[in-house]
């Protein structure tokens, strides 16, 4: 088994265990969801892919029946949580798959969104190449990643304790901002917008333990476009 596949297996196993108690409403949503809603710019009938949909947080921001939506995730238990959270919506289908090997034909989607996935992918070049392949001409992608400055502050790996069970370990990867931007550019994707929002004092009311994070860039947010002739 390659190191890449070992990391994917560890990530899937970690999120499978974490799924039951995973909190997708922490204050980081204040930072990425406004950017997503501003830059995704879907249209009626738009075909949208959520890469690493987790419990369906991004999926739930989309109007019901306005679009044709697919969510993929490596973890079967996170997908089960997503199905519970989105209820009976027939406009959303969920697929278990890897962000590094997306099982769709070229130019299948008009929009792609992804939150907190690049931090678990050793080879981001593969992800950006896949996004380029799957997007239609003039298609847009909006991605959020944990900022490398935050990873250096807190560590790139995730250690989570679920109840009384042994702490689970989910491996992470640190990718510098310029590395991510270069990978997107080399794949043929043009940068439309970028933000590096920081942790604010207001977040401490919900997460008192974040005191040491105030002022540190929390996320890297990018909007990308596949231009005609790319």
Cβ–Cβ under 8 Å, residues 112 and 49: yes
Residues 6+ apart with CB under 8 A from 108: 47, 49, 134
Q: What is the DSSP letter of 101?
A: B
Alpha helices in 48-95 (DSSP H): 76-86
Tell me what the mean pLDDT of segment 15-41 comes to: 86
What per-residue confidence (pLDDT) applies to 162?
Answer: 67
Q: Is residue 4 over pLDDT 70?
A: no
What per-residue confidence (pLDDT) applies to 8?
Answer: 85
The CA radius of gyration of the chain, in Å to the nearest whole number, is 17
How do beta strands 68-73 and 219-225 pair? unpaired
Tell which phi-psi region holds residue 54, choosing left (phi > 0), alpha (psi between -120 and 50) or beta: left
Cβ–Cβ under 8 Å, residues 205 and 170: no
What CA–CA distances, in Å, run from 42 to 5, 63, 65, 219?
33, 10, 13, 23
Query: What does the DSSP assignment read for 203-215?
Result: GGGT-GGGGGGBT
What per-residue confidence (pLDDT) applies to 139?
Answer: 98
Tell me what the mean pLDDT of segment 78-92 comes to: 92
Q: What are the chain's domains?
A: 3-225 (3.40.50.150)
- Residue 16: pLDDT band with limits 50, 70, 90: confident
Q: Is residue 3 over pLDDT 60?
A: no
What's the predicted TM-score (pTM) here? Answer: 0.92
Tell me what the mean pLDDT of segment 168-193 comes to: 94
The closest alpha carbon to 36, from 62, 72, 10, belongs to: 62
Q: Is residue 70 over pLDDT 50?
A: yes
What CA–CA distances, in Å, run from 92 to 18, 69, 129?
23, 5, 24
**Within 13 Å of residue 56, how many CA atoms lie on the same side as its CB?**
22
Tell me what the mean pLDDT of segment 220-227 comes to: 97
Cβ–Cβ under 8 Å, residues 210 and 199: yes
**Within 13 Å of residue 23, how many CA atoms lie on the same side as its CB?**
9
Round to whole Å and give the CA distance between 74 and 29.
21
Tell me what the mean pLDDT of segment 96-112 comes to: 94
How do beta strands 109-115 and 135-146 pair? parallel
Helix, strand, coil abundance in the chain, percent, nearest 5: 40, 25, 35
107-145 pLDDT, tens digit per residue, is 999 999 999 999 999 999 999 999 999 999 999 999 999
């Amino acid at each position: 088994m390659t190191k890449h596949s070992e990391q994917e297996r560890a990530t899937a196993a970690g999120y499978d265990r974490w799924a039951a108690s995973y909190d997708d409403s922490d204050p980081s949503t204040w930072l990425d969801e406004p950017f997503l809603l501003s830059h995704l710019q879907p249209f009626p009938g738009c075909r949208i892919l959520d890469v690493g949909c987790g419990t369906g947080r991004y999926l739930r921001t989309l109007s019901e029946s306005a679009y044709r939506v697919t969510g993929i995730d490596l973890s079967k238990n996170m997908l089960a949580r997503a199905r519970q959270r989105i209820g009976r919506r027939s406009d959303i289908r969920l697929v278990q798959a890897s962000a590094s090997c997306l099982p769709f034909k070229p130019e299948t989607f008009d929009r792609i969104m992804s939150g907190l996935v690049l931090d678990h992918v050793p080879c981001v070049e593969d992800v950006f190449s896949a996004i380029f392949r799957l997007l239609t001409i003039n298609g847009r992608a909006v991605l959020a990643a944990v900022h490398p400055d935050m990873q250096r502050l807190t560590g790139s790996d995730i250690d989570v304790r679920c109840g009384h069970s042994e702490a689970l370990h989910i491996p992470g990867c640190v990718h510098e901002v310029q590395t991510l931007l270069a990978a997107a550019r080399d794949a043929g994707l043009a940068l439309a917008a970028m933000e590096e929002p920081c942790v604010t004092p207001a977040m401490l009311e919900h997460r008192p333990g974040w005191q040491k994070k105030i002022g540190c860039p929390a996320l890297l947010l990018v909007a990308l476009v596949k231009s005609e002739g790319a």
